[in-house]
């Protein structure tokens, strides 16, 4: 077990290398309540062996940069054995590392070095479905109808006279039918299996206690190795309504089921029979009991696309998960009254159950916020943007707003998630050639939805070198744009006003002033287009209107744009203190 979490480690470890940003790993601190957690998408972070695919050794080598940025923890998207049909969210072995990414020894080194640098490590767990190449699914295919092996997945007879039609009308989140028919061992057309995502991602049957046992084993495997927590993929999808009733989502629902919040509040819409079912909570209570058997503060965070926030808060009741991603915040328009409402509702909904709110603006499934905030309409979640999408993002406006939005997010109490590259102000890559695209969404909708590749392009480290330093060979699994020199980390480091410096300053001040543990006190006297509050003695003002706002007296700690003449221009956030 990692010494970080061991009871006799003296409860804290101070980093021995890197600049002292004050990071300490304190046991019993409930670190997750206020942590800034940095999402690493392993394929696209750093490639150590030059094959164009990022890997665990590459991440280890680059950890000092994250220490320098000042994050408290890293969350690694899946690096497990996988045929990579959904970039690793199709797992063929939950307890091993895919050779593309390295070995378990590489993982151990990464975790040890992160801990030594004062950063926690969260890994992804994908329990809703496995890969079709997982031995469990292969055994199910090889076994007869009604067998124990089939009962681990959701196999059903088809409808229609000869079972030639799918068992119900569910559509895959990635487009197309959510059912695939198999050919039985004797060559006859057979049963159908459910896959809420790609056909290579069969859904596990969480009605089956065997599945519960296996995932408890998986949790323990990684907890024993010393991980500090899990991000739980599709936590809202694991249990399906009895009888698998037909369901047609409303046209404006995002691909993960978002957009239902208002209708649910008005009592008009059904909850999808495959999302947000009551039965999921018993699973998380069970998982919580597993985590609680380990010392240290191991944490569970739910990827749950559930609205409204009062329902999402059920995921983080005291005996369930510790955190849930606040996708309502991510999806809130760049509009002051909407943001104030979401901030208020988030803090009160999560506060009701004693949980911190989380905040997130970007991840590997959505259009990067430096582009999203420069669009009139970003379309449904997961659809992405591409060469033929009407209305290109305004890059200058998008980046300006992204910087203001990030400065606002990082001033809020609770825990914030940062997706790799947003600290560089990276935009979505829109003009990827189709031949390079890998997101199953693109293929399952015959290109109608571009999908998520545009936010997954390998990130730039140094200007003027092959692949911007992502890989030593210049290879990159998705092509990087030719004009990313200025976004490169080393080009921004130490450059006053750069997005990287804005994030570094925000993270340092957030830590020093304990903003993550504070509270929001709204400030009166500002125009409606302004978000203004005080948190832990820091006054935060975001001007989302066109009219410049006169700044109150005080010393400017941070500003997302240059300030002149004591006024706050449009799309700018400032942090002030009176001293
Ligand atoms: C989650 C992941 C996404 C993946 C899907 C299926 O939403 O974030 O990337 O495609 O689950 O596992």
Indicate the pLDDT class of residue 172, thresholds 50, 70 and 90: very high
| Ligand 1: centre distance to CA 478 (Å) | 19
For 107-111, 254-258, 467-471, 484-488, which range has the lowest pLDDT when averaged over its residues?
A: 254-258
Sign of CA dihedral 279, 85, 460, 74: positive
Instruction: Say yes or no to pLDDT of 28 above 50.
Output: yes
Of 70, 86, 164, 170, the closest CA to residue 126 belongs to 86
Sign of CA dihedral 98, 99, 104, 108: negative
| pLDDT 10s digits, 403-417 | 999 999 999 999 999
Evaluate whether 316 touches 324 at the Cβ level (below 8 Å). yes
Token reading at 92: 């063929």
For 133-147, 375-389, 419-433, which range has the lowest pLDDT when averaged over its residues?
A: 375-389
For the chain, domains (ranges, CATH) are 3-19+31-129+209-506 (3.20.20.80), 135-194 (3.90.400.10), 519-577 (2.60.40.1180)
Burial 537-556 (b: 16+ CB within 10 A, else e): ebbbbbbbbeebbebbeeee
Ligand 1 pocket check for 197: Cβ under 6 Å: yes
| pLDDT 10s digits, 320-336 | 999 999 999 999 999 99
**Which of 79, 86, 195 has most ligand 1 atoms within 8 Å of CB, for mutation?**
86
Q: Which residues contact 138 (CB under 8 A, 6 or more apart)?
A: 132
| pLDDT 10s digits, 464-520 | 999 999 999 999 999 999 999 999 999 999 999 999 999 999 999 999 999 999 999
Token reading at 452: 């998520």
| Ligand 1: centre distance to CA 216 (Å) | 21
| Ligand 1: centre distance to CA 233 (Å) | 6
Instruction: Say yes or no to pLDDT of 220 above 60.
Output: yes
- Out of 55, 113, 124, 303, pick the active-site residue: 303
**Which of 42, 128, 172, 233 has most ligand 1 atoms within 8 Å of CB, for mutation?**
233
Residue nearest to atom 9 of ligand 1 (CA): 365
The pLDDT score that the predictor gives to residue 269 is 53
Residue nearest to atom 7 of ligand 1 (CA): 234
Percent of the chain with pLDDT over 90: 88
Note the pTM of the prediction, 2 decimals. Answer: 0.95
| pLDDT 10s digits, 47-105 | 999 999 999 999 999 999 999 999 999 999 999 999 999 999 999 999 999 999 999 99
Ligand 1 pocket check for 126: Cβ under 6 Å: yes
The residue assigned the tokens 């707003």 is: 401
Distance of CA 480 to the CA centre of its chain: 22
Ligand 1 pocket check for 234: Cβ under 6 Å: yes
Distances (CA, A) of 273 to 200, 347, 380, 459, 501: 21, 28, 20, 38, 45
For 287-296, 355-364, 380-389, which range has the lowest pLDDT when averaged over its residues?
A: 380-389
Ligand 1 pocket check for 365: Cβ under 6 Å: yes
Indicate the pLDDT class of residue 214, thresholds 50, 70 and 90: very high
Task: Summarize the confidence of residues 274-303 as an average pLDDT.
Answer: 97
The pLDDT score that the predictor gives to residue 401 is 98
Q: What is the 3-state secondary structure (H, E, C) of 368-408?
A: CHHHHCCCCCCCCCCCCCCCCCCCCCCHHHHHHHHHHHHHH
The pLDDT score that the predictor gives to residue 26 is 74
Kindly report the backbone phi and psi dihedral angles of residue 469, in degrees, each rounded to the nearest multiple of 5, phi listed first.
Answer: 80, 0
- Out of 233, 307, 423, 438, pick the active-site residue: 233
Instruction: Say yes or no to pLDDT of 261 above 60.
Output: no
The pLDDT score that the predictor gives to residue 1 is 31
Instruction: Say yes or no to pLDDT of 307 above 50.
Output: yes
Residue nearest to atom 12 of ligand 1 (CA): 89
| Ligand 1: centre distance to CA 367 (Å) | 14
Of 393, 538, 382, 504, the closest CA to residue 451 belongs to 382
The pLDDT score that the predictor gives to residue 251 is 76
Bridge partners of 419, per DSSP, are 39
Ligand 1 pocket check for 116: Cβ under 6 Å: no
Task: Summarize the confidence of residues 336-342 as an average pLDDT.
Answer: 98
| Ligand 1: centre distance to CA 551 (Å) | 43
Does the annotation count 528 as an active-site position? no
Indicate the pLDDT class of residue 380, thresholds 50, 70 and 90: confident
| Ligand 1: centre distance to CA 234 (Å) | 7
Of 199, 204, 152, 191, the closest CA to residue 172 belongs to 199
| Ligand 1: centre distance to CA 296 (Å) | 28
Indicate the pLDDT class of residue 272, thresholds 50, 70 and 90: very high
Please give the number of the atom of ligand 1 that sits closest to the Cα of 90. Answer: 12
Does the annotation count 377 as an active-site position? no
Instruction: Say yes or no to pLDDT of 339 above 50.
Output: yes
Distances (CA, A) of 434 to 72, 234, 352, 442: 37, 27, 47, 9
Task: Summarize the confidence of residues 112-137 as an average pLDDT.
Answer: 98
Please give the number of the atom of ligand 1 that sits closest to the Cα of 365. Answer: 9
């Amino acid at each position: 077990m990692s010494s970080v979490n061991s009871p006799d480690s003296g409860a804290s470890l101070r980093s021995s290398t890197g600049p002292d940003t004050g990071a300490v790993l304190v046991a019993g601190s409930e670190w997750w309540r206020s942590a800034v957690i940095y999402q690493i998408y392993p394929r696209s972070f750093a490639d150590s062996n030059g094959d164009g695919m990022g890997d665990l050794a590459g991440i280890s080598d680059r950890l000092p940069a994250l220490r320098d940025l000042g994050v408290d923890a890293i969350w690694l998207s899946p690096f497990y054995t996988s045929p990579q049909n959904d970039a690793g969210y199709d797992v063929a072995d939950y307890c091993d590392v895919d050779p593309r990414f390295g070995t378990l020894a590489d993982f151990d080194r990464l975790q040890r070095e992160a801990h030594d640098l004062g950063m926690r490590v969260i890994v992804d767990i994908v329990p809703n479905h496995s890969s079709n190449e997982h031995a469990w699914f292969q055994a199910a295919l090889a076994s007869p109808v009604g067998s124990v092996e089939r009962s681990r997945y959701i196999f059903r007879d088809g409808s229609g006279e000869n079972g030639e039609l799918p068992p119900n009308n569910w559509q895959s989140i990635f487009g197309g039918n959510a059912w695939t028919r198999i050919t039985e061992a004797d060559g006859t057309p057979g049963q159908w299996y459910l896959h809420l995502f790609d056909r290579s991602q069969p859904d596990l049957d969480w009605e089956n206690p065997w599945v519960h046992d296996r995932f408890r084993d998986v949790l323990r495997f990684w907890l024993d190795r010393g991980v500090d927590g899990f991000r739980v993929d599709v936590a809202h999808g694991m249990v399906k309504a009895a009888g698998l009733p037909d369901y047609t989502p409303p046209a404006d629902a995002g691909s993960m089921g978002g957009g239902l919040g208002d209708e649910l509040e008005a009592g008009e819409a059904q909850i999808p029979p495959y999302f947000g079912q009551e039965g999921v909570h018993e699973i998380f209570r069970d998982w919580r009991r597993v985590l609680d058997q380990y010392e240290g503060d191991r944490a569970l965070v739910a990827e749950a696309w559930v609205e409204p926030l009062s329902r999402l808060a059920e995921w983080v009741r005291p005996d369930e998960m510790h955190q849930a991603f606040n996708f309502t915040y991510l999806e809130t328009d760049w509009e002051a009254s909407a943001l104030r409402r979401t901030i208020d509702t988030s803090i009160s909904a999560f506060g009701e159950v004693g949980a911190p709110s989380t905040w997130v603006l970007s991840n590997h499934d959505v259009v990067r916020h430096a582009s999203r905030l420069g669009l009139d309409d970003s379309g449904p979640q997961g659809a992405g943007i591409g060469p033929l999408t009407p209305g290109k993002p305004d890059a200058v406006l998008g980046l300006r707003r992204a910087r203001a939005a990030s400065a606002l997010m990082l001033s809020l109490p609770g825990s914030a998630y940062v997706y790799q590259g947003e600290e560089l102000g990276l935009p979505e890559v829109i003009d990827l050639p189709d031949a390079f695209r890998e997101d199953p969404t693109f293929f399952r909708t015959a290109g109608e939805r571009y999908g998520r590749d545009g936010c997954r392009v390998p990130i730039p480290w140094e200007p003027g070198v092959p692949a911007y330093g992502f890989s030593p060979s210049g290879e990159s699994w998705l092509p990087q744009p030719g004009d990313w020199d200025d976004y490169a980390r080393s080009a921004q480091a130490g450059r006053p006003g750069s997005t990287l410096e804005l994030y570094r300053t925000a993270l340092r001040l957030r830590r020093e002033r304990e903003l993550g543990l504070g509270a929001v006190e709204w400030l009166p006297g500002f125009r409606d287009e302004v978000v203004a509050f005080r948190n832990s003695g820091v006054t935060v003002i975001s001007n989302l209107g066109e009219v410049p706002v006169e700044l109150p007296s005080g010393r400017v700690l941070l500003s997302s744009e240059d300030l002149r003449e004591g006024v706050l221009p449009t799309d700018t956030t400032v942090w002030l203190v009176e001293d």
